[in-house]
Amino acid sequence: MQKALFILAALIIGLICGMLLPGGSDGVIKGAEFVGALWLNGLRMTIIPLVVSLLIVGIVQTAVMAKAGRMTFRAIATMIAILWASAAMAALFTPALLALFPLPADAAAALQSALSTAQEPGPVPSILEFFRDIVPANPVAAAANDAILPLIIFTLAFAFAVTRLPEKKRSTIADFFAAISEAMLILVQWVLALAPVGVFALALVVGARAGAQSFVGLAHYVLIVVAVGTVIYLASFLLALLGAKRSPLAFFRASIPAQAVAISTQSSLASLPAMVQGVKAMGVGERSADVVLPISVALFRATGPCMNLAVAIYVAHLMGIEITTSAMIAGIVAAAITTMGAVSLPGSVSFITSIAPINIAMGLPVEPLVLLLAIEAFPDIMRTLANVTMDMAVTGTVARFEGDLAEGETS
């Protein structure tokens, strides 16, 4: 949280300093652009190896857990279904929300001008080309060319193939990629240690070119993304009603302690003890509470697909880029799959490693994510709140179907 506050402070100070720059400061702006681009390149170089290694480790771990028993398999299947539904919901709800409440025209024009140096969006294939190219002829070339979706498909297939190996060989490959992901995370932490410098430099450029409109854009972004996350929060009450047969009021009372911890810590792991007590208050048995909830915290992040895809869609809205059908499909697939490999990461790391692949898959620039990273502390409150609440709803639902839920209030 302290690191997030430093990055947020760098953003605000950079924007203000940019707004206060006198005329004829082109040299300062170009210098800031150079520093910001250098830092962003350092961050981008970690994305492909980190996403691939995390996805392989995540799939292998998920497959091993799914073999542990019927309850575990049912829990994981439920979570995967929710992840895909979450991504699909964002693809429908976010554009509709932006159509009703668009970014003010003045702010949009100012920010597009300020971000005019962002990398041009990649080519977006037609529907036929999309499905033809989704299986890469050369996965190494796909990685080199930032063809992220074909690379994800290959990685997914490779990870499932690894799960069919004998235990010793499977463990060897999983340990190898786990070591790569750990090394890459160390490298990412080094790059993020310089985040205040990189964010300050890029914010100074935006502040100089967009002025006060930059604050309008950032505030609008927070409201839109939080609204998308709120849908998942409300959906957890619906799941509790239909799946666990608990009324919204009863479910809310049981989840209040966990929600309070989630808001104050922004950590699902820190909320786990309160979640355990909450589901037991709902009537969930020891077996489900001790099995399903830890799996949820380890593998499941319900808001990941919807809020990550919402960020990518917002970038397109911000930059005035039209999202084609094939690009949206690519975003849904990337959002649903990459979430499975990023659950255990710190928020600032998962923001880049989860959303940058979605942007690349959709042919959108990555540069605006740096400014949005700086204010992620605000949407992250809703992320954690909705994730914790959905974890409890899933646990109650699985417990009911496993016969491990006591009779309780249903209306």
In whole angstroms, give the CA distance from residue 346 to residue 342. 9
pLDDT at 55 over 60: yes
In terms of residue numbers, what domain contains 66?
A: 2-401
pLDDT tens digits, residue range 265-281? Answer: 878 888 888 999 999 99
Q: Could you tell me if residue 246 is left (phi over 0), alpha (psi between -120 and 50 degrees) or otherwise beta?
A: beta
pLDDT band at 93 (very low <50, low <70, confident <90, very high): very high
Residue 70 lies in a domain: yes
Cβ within 8 Å of residue 257, ≥6 positions away: 274, 277, 278
The predicted structure's pLDDT at residue 411: 42
The predicted structure's pLDDT at residue 199: 87
β partners of residue 405: 284
Does residue 70 or residue 104 have the better pLDDT? Answer: 104
pLDDT band at 228 (very low <50, low <70, confident <90, very high): very high
The predicted structure's pLDDT at residue 120: 56
Lowest mean pLDDT among 45-54, 139-148, 191-200, 384-393: 139-148
Does residue 225 or residue 70 have the better pLDDT? Answer: 225
The predicted structure's pLDDT at residue 250: 92
The predicted structure's pLDDT at residue 404: 82
Nearest to 7 by CA among 385, 352, 384: 352
pLDDT band at 128 (very low <50, low <70, confident <90, very high): low
The predicted structure's pLDDT at residue 126: 61
Residue 268 lies in a domain: yes
Residue 347 lies in a domain: yes
CATH number at residue 247: 1.10.3860
pTM of this structure? 0.86
The predicted structure's pLDDT at residue 378: 87
Any idea of the CA torsion for 141, 142, 146, 147, to the nearest 10 degrees?
150
Instruction: State the total domains in the chain.
Output: 1
pLDDT at 184 over 90: no
Does residue 313 or residue 9 have the better pLDDT? Answer: 313
pLDDT at 105 over 70: yes
Residue 157 lies in a domain: yes
pLDDT tens digits, residue range 254-264? Answer: 999 999 998 88
> Mean pLDDT across the chain, nearest whole number?
85
In whole angstroms, give the CA distance from residue 155 to residue 60. 11
Displacement of CA 271 from its chain's centroid (Å): 19
Percent of the chain scoring above 70 in pLDDT:
92
Q: Across residues 152-156, what is the average pLDDT?
A: 86
The predicted structure's pLDDT at residue 385: 93
Residue 194 lies in a domain: yes
Q: Across residues 135-149, what is the average pLDDT?
A: 80
pLDDT tens digits, residue range 293-349? Answer: 888 887 788 999 999 999 999 999 988 888 988 889 989 998 988 887 665 555 566
Tokens of 355: 């959303």
pLDDT tens digits, residue range 237-259? Answer: 999 999 999 999 999 999 999 99
Residue 217 lies in a domain: yes
The predicted structure's pLDDT at residue 124: 58
The predicted structure's pLDDT at residue 189: 84
What's 88's DSSP letter? H
pLDDT at 145 over 90: no
- Give the DSSP letter string of 269-304: HHHHHHHHHHHHHTTB-HHHHHHHHHHHHHH--THH
- Give the DSSP letter string of 179-203: HHHHHHHHHHHHHHHTHHHHHHHHH
pLDDT band at 110 (very low <50, low <70, confident <90, very high): confident
Residue 411 lies in a domain: no
User: Using only C-alpha atoms, what is the Rg of the chain?
Assistant: 22
